[in-house]
Amino acid sequence: MKSTISLRIPSSYHKAIQKVAETENISMNQLIASAIGEKLSALETESYINERASRASRDKFEAALSKVPNIEPEPFDEVQ
């Protein structure tokens, strides 16, 4: 289902959107819808990470870390 909204934006935004849409060879509508989707995804990801972090504990972290072998990394994995 699609909806139509009326949106007031500064003329500088309109010009920039138009220019980018032309450069990307997409409609302004596609560009705006994509930008909204990206922003919503970022906000939902932040919410998800915060929810997961609220369940975290130092004990669980240390228990997981204790299962990692204490060995030297391969030369290609070393931090320079």
Mind listing the pLDDT tens digit for each residue in 3-49? 999 999 999 999 999 999 999 999 999 999 999 999 999 999 999 99
| Cα(70)–Cα(74) distance, integer angstroms | 12
| Cα(2)–Cα(35) distance, integer angstroms | 16
pTM beyond 0.85, yes or no: no
pLDDT band at 58 (very low <50, low <70, confident <90, very high): very high
